[in-house]
Each structure stands twice: as structure tokens, then as C-alpha cells.
Amino acid sequence: MKARHVNVAILLLVMFELASGIGSFLVGESNGRWLFWLHRAGGLALLVLLVWKAGIAARSYQRRGLTAGTLLSAFGGLLLIASLATGVLWATVGLPWVSLPGVGRWAGFNFHIAFSLLLIPLFLLHVGLRWSRPRRTDLASRRAVLRLMGLLAVGFAFWGAQEVLSILAGLSGSHRRFTGSREAGSFSGNRYPVTQWLTDRVRRVDRDRWRLRVRGEVEREQCLSYGQILALGGSVRRATLDCTGGWYTVQHWSGVPVDILLERSGVRSSARSLIVCSATGYTRRFSLGEANRLLLATHVGGQALSAGHGFPLRLVAPGRRGYAWVKWVVELEVSGDPAWLEPPLPPQ
């Protein structure tokens, strides 16, 4: 393959991998597993292209020597290799949890995410400084499309072989969920990992002073104490919490179905969505049609929620990834705004 074709293919595949990787954070239902398949095939196709790219890089170094540009390119290449390597390791033998100062315990999968995000600015800089502008035929011609499809086919073949070998060798990666997440602490009450989204920290809530408000586009606002929530509770549901950090847990959650609280308040005809608010200020918005699937849990596995898991009340949102499972819930706001106003990923 010519150097220009290799570079363009890498450009397209890296962009595809970043887009599909971010998109996979939005998928919690098994009918979206195809996006994870494409992401894995694209990553393994990139590994194949690195064989050609290594020769191109070596020739470039011979012409230019050691410069700031070649050092930057080398660092970017190392980040790409690190991103691909951690992804493959996570999918096969696994990676250990690591304790980081100021961050807490990280599943090894987070290093795959971190390397990928660090790669973005370096990759864009490298493209701007070193690559000639792609021609239309490089991106949209029949040959370009067939070349990319061929690379993805190779990636799918390698991925299939990897999965078969993992099963035959009894590697831990063969037991991953379709999202790539690994099981952690299922049916163990509070003994599953404690993680938060980005800047959130564990909130210690005074049970006696805590209240749940239900307000907005409702006929009757409510302000409920912990005791009143317990009196309304008792509904038990089995649901899978799948964290974007690379782990999942299956638990029996007990508490109050959200639709019961909405029925008690009387939802107005102008209502279009539901906002669940945390004591930290963190919020997620849901369509009203999804309310009958949501549960406000007080207990997990028969145990009262710990502070790290959202005591006194956390949202259980089956089919949604972990960042939608709001902890330390203090308010349900029935809104007249549509659910699509919610950003795909929380900005805070």
C-alpha cells in the first residue's frame, strides 16, 4: 500500500475509532452491540496498518533526522500504540485496578480511554503540520471505500480470532459483557466498585434533614422524608449497572418506582421530560415515557445504600450506562422541555 493511502487510511480509522468509542458510551442496550463490534474491528485494523506506518516513519526519520517534529510524531505514535495495546489487553487478559492520588481507584480500562483522549490534540497537530491535504479521491472514491471496507474486514477477522482464542485459552476477557465491561461484585450488596462521573465526589447526606422534592409540571408538589420514601418502597428489580469505566454489576435494587411518585403528584399535559437532580448538582434528563422503567433505590441486595453508592436515594435506570444512574437524589423535576435537550454525555 502506498504511503499516501496508508496515511489516509490511518486518518479515517483514527477518526472512526474516536467517534465509535465516544458513541459506545451512549449504548446500554444489547441491540446497540454492533457499534462495539465496529470499534473493535477498527482498532485491530489500525494495528495492521501500523506495520506499514512503521516503514513510512523510519524513512521520514532518515530524511529529517531528530527534530521537534519527529519527536512529536514519535510521542503521538506511542500514544496510539498504548491506546490500542490497552484495549487489546483489556479484551483478553485484563488490566489491574490502580489507585491514583486525587482520583481514587481506576479500572485498567480507563487507561485505554485516557491514552485515546490524549491522542486527539497530538493527532490533529500532526495532521496539520506533516500531512498533505487529502484529495477528494482519497476519501470518497470507490477504491478508497473498498480499501477501508477491506481493512475493517481484516479487523473483523482478527477480532473473531481473538475471541475464539480467548475462549479456548480460558482468558478472563471471554466473559466480558457486550460493552466490554467486566463483572464486579454482582449480588453482593454494597460490595461493588464506588465510582463517580468526572468531578463528583462522595456526598455524606444527613438522613434526618434530607428530603426528596417532586416539582415542576405537576398538580401537587411533594416533599418526602426518608421514612416516607421507605413507606412507599418495597418494589424490587434486578438490573445491571454498566459503568463506562469498564465494569458492570448485576444487583437486586429495592425502592420506589418513579412512576408511582409521578402519579401521586399528577403530571400535567404540558410535561415532556423528567430531570433527576443530585445533591451535588449533577442532573440527567429522561423522557416521560421512560419513567415506568426507573426506580429510586434505597437498598441494594437487601442492604441500605452506602454513602459511596448514593445513600439515601439513587436512580436505577435499566438499559442506561452508569453515568445516568444519579446518586444522592434530592429532586425530581417534571419539565415542559423535550428530553432531546439533554446533552449525550454530562458536561460536569
The CATH number of whichever domain residue 216 belongs to comes to 3.90.420.10
Are residues 135 and 7 part of one domain? Answer: yes
Is the predicted pLDDT of residue 135 greater than 80, yes or no? Answer: no
In a domain, residue 65? The reply is yes
Is the predicted pLDDT of residue 137 greater than 70, yes or no? Answer: no
Is the predicted pLDDT of residue 166 greater than 80, yes or no? Answer: yes
Q: pTM, whole model, 2 decimals?
A: 0.90
Are residues 218 and 158 part of one domain? Answer: no
C-alpha cell at 326: 444519579
Are residues 224 and 145 part of one domain? Answer: no
Are residues 171 and 40 part of one domain? Answer: yes
User: What is the rounded distance in angstroms from the CA atom of residue 339 to the CA atom of residue 329?
Assistant: 19
Are residues 170 and 51 part of one domain? Answer: yes
Q: What is the pLDDT of residues 44-81, one digit of tens each?
A: 999 989 888 888 777 777 777 777 767 777 888 899 99
In a domain, residue 203? The reply is no
Domain limits at 334?
212-341
Query: Residue for cell digits 436512580?
Result: 315
Q: How crowded is residue 71: how many other Cβ atoms within 10 Å of its Cβ?
A: 10
Are residues 18 and 120 part of one domain? Answer: yes
Are residues 135 and 80 part of one domain? Answer: yes
In a domain, residue 286? The reply is yes
At residue 192 the predicted structure's pLDDT band, cuts being 50, 70 and 90, is very high
Are residues 167 and 29 part of one domain? Answer: yes
User: What is the rounded distance in angstroms from the CA atom of residue 258 to the CA atom of residue 67?
Assistant: 61
In a domain, residue 187? The reply is no
Ranges 16-25, 96-105, 217-226: which has the least confidence:
96-105
Are residues 118 and 38 part of one domain? Answer: yes
Are residues 315 and 236 part of one domain? Answer: yes
Are residues 153 and 15 part of one domain? Answer: yes
Give how many domains the chain has, as a whole number. 2
Q: Phi/psi class of residue 7: alpha, beta or left (left: φ > 0; alpha: ψ in -120 to 50)? A: alpha
Q: What is the pLDDT of residues 139-161, one digit of tens each?
A: 667 777 888 899 999 999 999 99
* Amino acid 52: pLDDT: 83
Are residues 216 and 176 part of one domain? Answer: no
Mean pLDDT of 196-209: 86
